[in-house]
Every structure is written in structure tokens, then in C-alpha cells.
Amino acid sequence: MQVLVTGGAGYIGSILVRRLLQEGYKVKVLDRFFFGKESLISISKNPRLTLIQDDTRWFDPKILRGIDVVIDLAALSNDPSGELNPQKTLDINYKGRSRVARLSKENGVKKYILASSCSIYGFRDSLLDEESSINPLTTYAKANRLAEIAAAKLASEKFTVTMLRFATVFGFSTKMRFDLAVNGMVLGFFKNREIPIMRNGKQWRPFIHIKDVADSYVKVIQSPKDKINGEIFNVGSDSQNFQILPLAKEVAKAIKVPFKKKWYGDPDSRSYKISFKKIKKTLGYETKFSIADGAREIYLSLQNGILTDSIKTKTVEWYKHLIESKKIIDSIAIRNKIL
């Protein structure tokens, strides 16, 4: 079986690609490599891995020939990054991914899996499941929903479409991100002896370890189409819904340091608790790794010098650099290419 992963050199993609190779799949990575190829260097000589530097918005559809499964990760990631240039976010995260889905169907791909996000639920007080109404508050969240809608319309007997709404991811990656809640808390304590917390700490978020994310993709690939076709699954664990202040205390406990906080930012407008019962009941999927597991592995990697902080580990800062240096092509050129 051959799998194409768009955005395969990113934070999640670089871990997922390794997992797919471990499962014995042939893997193609389609990526602009905005952050470089370093995350895949250690596996780049694997004969079952092919790296393709191209863009989801205008790559040659011939790349999809012979592909059995497409995992569509390529996107400008997270809510703050999406607001740097809303039009570019829509061009890449919505139009680019809807193009990948459409071309996948046209070129005989059997399964298409879209990476979406629980951020589309917005600000809600109740426990939310896949049947709950959504409230996307940011361009990133709105683009995710538009991509879901476009992909779902393509589902058919011969083309299986599955949309996965992920909890906030944490854990070690060869393409590290320190702008995610748990990862940033560990870094904050390591560097400054205190943990940064976005005000007011009462906001709820669901969390999932990056290795559990990779497991969920394998589970979907290996599931029969009657269980996954046209379906949306929240991906995470009910036990890892946390308010941010208690989460910070959990992180401190895991790495065995005195808890000391530092507030930053304005009160968060996003707050949501998510039910993950559907994916457990339907596919038998359960997470394996805890907040403590992720915090400890990151802290140890920082202590040992395996991980270091840089502009590339902060998504917003790096995207600002790319936009200013015009390495992310402007939306007029993008639209011309797509049309």
C-alpha cells in the first residue's frame, strides 16, 4: 500500500511518516518544506520514502497515480498563524486541501483523510461531540470547516473520505513546536523557571500526544470503509480535557519542579470540552500517552540538548519571516495557479 502525506515534514507529519514506514507502507511526502527538510533527514534514505517538494495548490496531479491513501496535513497551522494573512490561510487550508481531495478522487485514490481540528467548536460550555453545532471563531477554524464540507461532498462507494478533528497536540517531534500549550509550558519552565499561562487559565482544551495522533491515522487506514466513509471523528481522550491552569500544574508535577506561573496575553476567547466516545466505540481507538509522558520527554530532551528553541519552533514567528521574505507566494499568484 502506498500513502501520500501532504505536509509530511511538519510537526505531526514527521512523526506520522515514521510510523507509516514502521507499518510497512510506501510513503510519499508532498511538502513545500517551509521549515526545511531536517525533520526527515534521518529517514530520507529509506527506500520506501519519497520526498516531493511542491505545493498542494498547484502540484502535478500525476503525483497521485498509484496512491492508495492520501493523508492531507498541509496547512498554515494554528489559530494565531491563520490571522497573519487570512486570505493566504483560506487559499492553503481550504482551497489547497479541497483541491487535493478532488484530484485524489479523480486519480483513483481509495481513501482520503483530512486533518481538521477541535478548534472549530469555538467557545462552548457543554461537552461537545460530532453532532454538536460548531462555532469557528478564527480563520484557521473556518478554513478547517470549509475543507471538511468540500471533502465530505466527494465521498462515494469508490472514494472513502474521513475527517479527523484533533485535540491540541503535544509531545516530542523532530520538527518541534513550542507554540503549543504543553510544549510551551515545558519550555517556559526550562528557560525561565516559570510556566507561561494564557489568561485567565479557566479555558478548557482537549489534548492528545503526537504518537496517539499517528496511531489514529493508522487505525483509520486499516478500518473498513463502512465504518469511516463520510464520517467525522473527534480524536483524543475524554480524560485529557483540561482547564489551562490545572494543566500547567500537571506539567510541573510531571517534570518535578515547583509550580510557578506567569500570565500572558488577553483572556482566551476559545474554550471547549470534547467527547471522544464515537471514535472509541466505532473504531476501538484509545490513546496511550498522558500529559505527563509528553512533558517528561520534552523536558529531558531539552536537558540533553536534543531539543533547542529557535524561530523555527515558533510557528507565528517563522511564518512572519516567510511572509516578509515573500517565500509564501501571495494570494493573487495562488488564485491564478488554482484557476
Tell me, yes or no, if the pTM score tops 0.85.
Answer: yes
The grid coordinates listed for 29 are 511526502
Model confidence over 235-260: pLDDT tens digits? 999 999 999 999 999 999 999 999 99
63-85 residue pLDDT tens:
999 999 999 999 988 766 666 67
- The per-residue pLDDT for range 280-318, each reduced to its tens digit, is 999 999 999 999 999 999 999 999 999 999 999 988 888
**pLDDT tens across 201-216, in order?**
999 999 999 999 999 9
Residue 336: pLDDT band (50, 70, 90) is: very low
Q: What is the pLDDT of residue 334?
A: 39
CB contact set of 241 (below 8 Å; sequence gap of 6+): 204, 205, 206, 207, 273, 274
Q: How far apart are CA 42 and CA 56, in angstroms?
A: 24
Domains of the chain: 2-338 (3.40.50.720)
Find the angle CA(204)-CA(277)-CA(117) to the nearest 5 degrees.
Answer: 50
Predicted confidence band at 338 (pLDDT cuts at 50, 70, 90)? very low
Mean pLDDT of 106-110: 98
